[in-house]
């Protein structure tokens, strides 16, 4: 067989399918085991997430409360100064200074939207209805900024009723000249209308606020704004500050110094800046972990590997608490989707009813659990037979085991907090600085068998008296607040330790007084060479056979007692029977959804479009190219057949051959390429270049260079 064209050789003589075979992964949830209670699983999952969502909203509200209060106070102060025409506002009018809040939110940019939404809602309810949120992508020029600003402000005030009542307001925003003068005229008209409203007349949302409410302009991503746009807006606004009570809020992700980096002194001097700092995203994450995982309020738990995946994504990728919460939500959905026994992941009040309603198939699912198999192997032969054959007996045991699991969590959390209090202040933090790190270590293995734990105990045995007393006091508070009856004796023992430390302080005070008296008497003795040598020998002898003081003995006793609590209550969760019911521990599924693999996804989409488009016409055999596929898929498959440099002419001929294959052999053998096919080819090649698969080559003008190699 002979060929007259490189393209035909490229297209006809295909390489071995083994070289082109790639694993085509599709994004899917974990394997689902059929269960008859899918509706109950869905209802349980939905109820659990609703409870968690309410808790998260409360956490967000509590964390932002101080920040929102400070911002509200700042805006009210600026508002009252403008309204009363105070001396400070008069000074600002003369110097043309604009009140500005520099809001440092941190690098977790994906969480900023939620924060600004909360700020906007609170300020609209309590301070002013005139709030505009501006983003850099919508404000490429000063004209775009003014259009966005005026559009949002007028939408804040004008509602359906006012549009129907007043003909002069029925002017589209496009016809309004977007300038600061127009904004001043609009604001004066709005405030006059609000002040002249009668109580009987229906009012708009602005009537709930004071007269002359300030206009708040929020720059959500200040670093992304063009310097020229910011400068022009600030200069123009400062010239109208005596007519318009304007307040700016800059959302800053890096540092407040960015204001002076972006703006020259002549512009930044027009701003009266006050700094506001939001809570650290790490502290926010610690609060979320504490409220969601280290509690018995919610039955669902995360395994060590899954929790580590979520924390690593947070620490090494985005610092986004919202993405952590989304990952947590994905774990809940996946657990209730793939685990048929997740119907037992519910509140303890519902456990008995759901266990009694288990079907025979679900009882078999219980018997297949690895932790339950280990439990059966540890029973006597009679109980083993009953557990494997009698469903009623199995249900009784399952109910007891779930109650034991709940008790395990009730005991685990206070002891974990107690151990964290003891070790979080040690040098170099052998067991981690955050409680989530210690929690992961306890879930992974028996923490008392690790080198880090031994190192922590050695350091704890060298704590001074004040630190140790402080640790004991915090532990007492933890156990008392847990309200677990099993720890009543523990609380009494810790209080007894505290009493002994107090007695030691009193005894030491008396001892110091006696030593001072005896030392004065010793000074009166004759200090000859004999007495000096005798004292030196006594000192050497005491060093050789050093005896522990009462404090050291008591300190050892305290540390050993806490060590006993750790060994009794901090066993790993996977050692507990039926832990699979409440723990999700499938990190591979989580990584598949959260850790992006764009190259594999792109190759799968371009090499096998049926995987995503689900069109039966796009199905093709291994190594073949369907003419029904999108143009970019055809071009991509053809470029896989080429080497480092690709001849565009040959590539176009091969593309034309594939596209016109359905029209018959006459069309395929035509020497001329249709203009439409030529245009489709150019567009597909441009898209491939945009995706980064090829680039123009300087070696040959009619060639492109391939940037990737291999199947994916």
Q: Tokens representing 197?
A: 């409203």
Bridge partners (DSSP) of residue 104 are: 252, 277
Per-residue pLDDT tens over the stretch 83-104: 555 555 555 555 678 899 999 9
Is the distance from CB of 696 to CB of 704 less than 8 angstroms?
A: yes
Asked if residue 1 has pLDDT above 70, the reply is: no
Is the distance from CB of 59 to CB of 291 less than 8 angstroms?
A: yes
The segment with the largest mean pLDDT, out of 201-210, 443-452, 539-548, is: 443-452
H or E element in which residue 217 lies: strand 215-219
CA angle 4, 6, 10 (to 5 degrees): 120
Q: What is the average per-residue pLDDT within 321-346?
A: 94
CA atoms of 323 and 151, how far apart (whole Å): 31
Of the candidates 324, 312, 328, the one whose C-alpha atom is nearest the C-alpha of residue 110 is 324
Residue with tokens 């010239």: 239
Residue 572 burial class via C-beta count within 10 angstroms: exposed 0-12, middle 13-18, buried 19 and up: middle
Indicate where the chain has its CATH 3.40.50.300 domain(s). 54-163+176-191+208-279
β-strands 703-706, 271-277: how paired? Answer: unpaired
When mean pLDDT is compared across 216-220, 240-244, 404-408, the lowest value belongs to: 240-244
Would you state the torsion angle of the CA atoms of residues 202, 208, 212, 217, taken in this order, to the nearest 10 degrees? -110
β-strands 271-277, 98-104: how paired? Answer: parallel
H or E element in which residue 132 lies: strand 131-134
Q: Tokens representing 1?
A: 């067989």
Residue with tokens 């004999």: 530
List strands edge to edge, sheet with 645-647.
645-647, 703-706, 694-696
What is the reported pLDDT for 4? 39
Residue 181 pLDDT class (50, 70, 90 cuts): confident
β-strands 246-252, 703-706: how paired? Answer: unpaired
Residue 600 burial class via C-beta count within 10 angstroms: exposed 0-12, middle 13-18, buried 19 and up: middle
Q: What is the average per-residue pLDDT within 530-551?
A: 66
Q: Tokens representing 529?
A: 């060479």
Q: How many CB atoms lie within 10 A of CB 257?
A: 10
Candidate CATH numbers 3.40.630.30, 3.30.530.20, 3.30.43.10, 3.40.50.300; the one for domain 54-163+176-191+208-279: 3.40.50.300
Per-residue pLDDT tens over the stretch 383-439: 999 999 999 999 999 999 999 999 999 999 999 999 999 999 899 899 999 999 999
- In eight-state DSSP terms, residue 278 is P
The more confidently predicted of residues 364 and 240 is 364
Asked if residue 171 has pLDDT above 80, the reply is: no
Where do the H-state alpha helices sit in 3-37? Answer: 6-12, 17-20
Residue with tokens 């030691």: 504
Residue 187 pLDDT class (50, 70, 90 cuts): confident
Per-residue pLDDT tens over the stretch 630-687: 999 999 989 888 888 999 999 999 999 888 876 655 554 555 678 899 999 999 999 9
H or E element in which residue 142 lies: helix 142-157
What is the reported pLDDT for 12? 40
CA atoms of 645 and 346, how far apart (whole Å): 61
Q: What is the DSSP string of 452-512?
A: HHHHHHHHHTT--HHHHHHHHHHHHHHHHHHT-GGGHHHHHHHHHHHHHHHHHHHHHHHHH
Is the distance from CB of 211 to CB of 194 less than 8 angstroms?
A: yes
Is the distance from CB of 218 to CB of 120 less than 8 angstroms?
A: yes
CA Rg value for the chain: 37
Please give the span between the terminal C-alpha atoms of the chain, in angstroms, as a whole number.
32
CA atoms of 615 and 7, how far apart (whole Å): 29
Is the distance from CB of 22 to CB of 711 less than 8 angstroms?
A: yes
Average pLDDT, the chain: 82
Asked if residue 3 has pLDDT above 50, the reply is: no
Q: How many CB atoms lie within 10 A of CB 709?
A: 8
List strands edge to edge, sheet with 215-219.
131-134, 215-219, 246-252, 98-104, 271-277
When mean pLDDT is compared across 110-124, 179-193, 358-372, 509-523, the lowest value belongs to: 509-523
Where do the H-state alpha helices sit in 339-464? Answer: 348-356, 360-368, 370-377, 381-389, 391-423, 435-444, 451-460
Is the distance from CB of 247 to CB of 216 less than 8 angstroms?
A: yes
β-strands 271-277, 246-252: how paired? Answer: unpaired
From the centroid of its chain, how far is CA 119?
Answer: 20
Q: What are phi and psi of 614, to 5 degrees?
A: 55, 40
């Amino acid at each position: 067989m002979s060929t007259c064209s490189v393209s035909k050789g490229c297209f006809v003589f295909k390489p071995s399918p083994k070289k082109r075979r790639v694993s085509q992964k599709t994004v899917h949830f974990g394997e689902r085991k059929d269960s008859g209670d899918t509706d109950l699983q869905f209802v349980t999952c939905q109820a659990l997430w609703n409870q968690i969502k309410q808790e998260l909203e409360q956490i967000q509200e509590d964390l932002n409360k101080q920040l929102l209060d400070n911002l509200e106070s700042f805006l009210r102060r600026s508002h009252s100064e403008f309204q009363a025409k105070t001396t400070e506002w008069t000074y600002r009018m003369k110097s043309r200074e604009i009140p500005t809040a520099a809001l440092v939110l941190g690098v977790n940019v994906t969480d900023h939207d939620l924060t600004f939404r909360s700020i906007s809602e609170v300020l609209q309810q309590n301070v002013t209805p005139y709030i505009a949120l501006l983003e850099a992508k919508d404000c490429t020029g000063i004209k775009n900024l003014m259009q966005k600003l005026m559009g949002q402000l007028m939408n804040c005030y004008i509602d359906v009723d006012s549009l129907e009542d007043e003909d002069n307001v029925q002017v589209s925003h496009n016809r309004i000249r977007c300038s600061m003068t127009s904004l001043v005229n609009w604001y004066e008209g709005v405030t006059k209308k609000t002040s002249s409203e009668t109580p009987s007349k229906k009012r708009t949302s602005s009537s709930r606020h004071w007269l002359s409410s300030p206009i708040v302009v929020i720059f959500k991503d200040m670093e992304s704004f063009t310097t020229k746009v910011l400068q022009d807006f600030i200069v123009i606004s400062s010239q109208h500050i005596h007519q318009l009570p304007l307040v700016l809020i800059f959302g800053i992700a890096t540092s407040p110094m960015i204001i002076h980096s972006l703006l020259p002194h002549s512009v930044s001097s027009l701003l009266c800046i006050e700094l506001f700092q939001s809570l650290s995203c790490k502290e926010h994450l610690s609060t979320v972990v504490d409220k969601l995982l280290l509690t018995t309020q919610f039955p669902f738990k995360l395994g060590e590997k899954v929790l580590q995946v979520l924390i690593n994504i947070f620490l090494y990728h985005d610092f986004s608490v919202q993405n952590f919460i989304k990952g947590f939500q994905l774990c809940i959905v996946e657990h209730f989707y793939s685990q048929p026994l997740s119907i037992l992941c519910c509140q303890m009040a519902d456990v008995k009813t759901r266990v009694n309603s288990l079907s025979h198939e679900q009882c078999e699912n219980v018997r297949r659990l690895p932790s339950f198999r280990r439990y059966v192997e540890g029973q006597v032969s009679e109980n083993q037979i009953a557990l494997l054959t009698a469903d009623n007996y199995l249900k009784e045991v399952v109910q007891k085991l779930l109650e034991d699991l709940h008790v395990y969590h009730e005991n685990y959390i206070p002891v974990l907090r107690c151990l964290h209090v003891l070790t979080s202040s040690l040098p170099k933090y052998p067991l981690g600085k955050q409680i989530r790190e210690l929690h992961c270590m306890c879930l992974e293995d028996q923490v008392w068998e690790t080198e880090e734990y031994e190192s922590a105990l050695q350091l704890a045995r060298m704590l001074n008296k004040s630190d140790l007393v402080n640790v004991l006091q915090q532990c007492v508070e933890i156990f008392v607040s847990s309200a677990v009856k099993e720890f009543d004796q523990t609380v009494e023992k810790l209080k007894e330790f505290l009493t002994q430390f107090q007695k030691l302080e009193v005894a030491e005070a008396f001892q110091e007084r006696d030593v001072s008296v005896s030392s004065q008497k010793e000074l009166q003795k004759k200090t000859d060479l004999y007495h000096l040598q005798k004292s030196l020998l006594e000192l050497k002898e005491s060093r050789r056979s050093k005896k522990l003081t009462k404090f050291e003995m008591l300190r050892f006793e305290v540390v050993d007692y806490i060590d006993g609590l750790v060994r009794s209550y901090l066993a790993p969760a996977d050692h507990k029977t039926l832990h699979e019911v409440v723990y999700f521990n499938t990190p591979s599924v989580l990584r598949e959804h959260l850790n992006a693999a764009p190259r594999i996804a792109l190759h799968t989409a371009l090499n096998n479009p049926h995987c995503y488009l689900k069109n039966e016409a796009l199905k093709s055999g291994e190594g073949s190219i369907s003419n029904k596929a999108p143009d970019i898929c055809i071009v991509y498959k053809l470029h896989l057949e080429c080497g480092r440099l690709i001849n565009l002419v040959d590539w176009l001929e091969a593309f034309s051959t594939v596209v016109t294959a359905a029209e018959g052999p006459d069309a395929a053998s035509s020497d001329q390429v249709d203009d439409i096919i030529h245009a489709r080819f150019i567009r597909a090649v441009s898209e491939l270049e945009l995706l980064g698969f090829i680039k123009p080559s300087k070696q040959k003008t009619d060639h492109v260079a391939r940037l990737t190699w291999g199947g994916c």
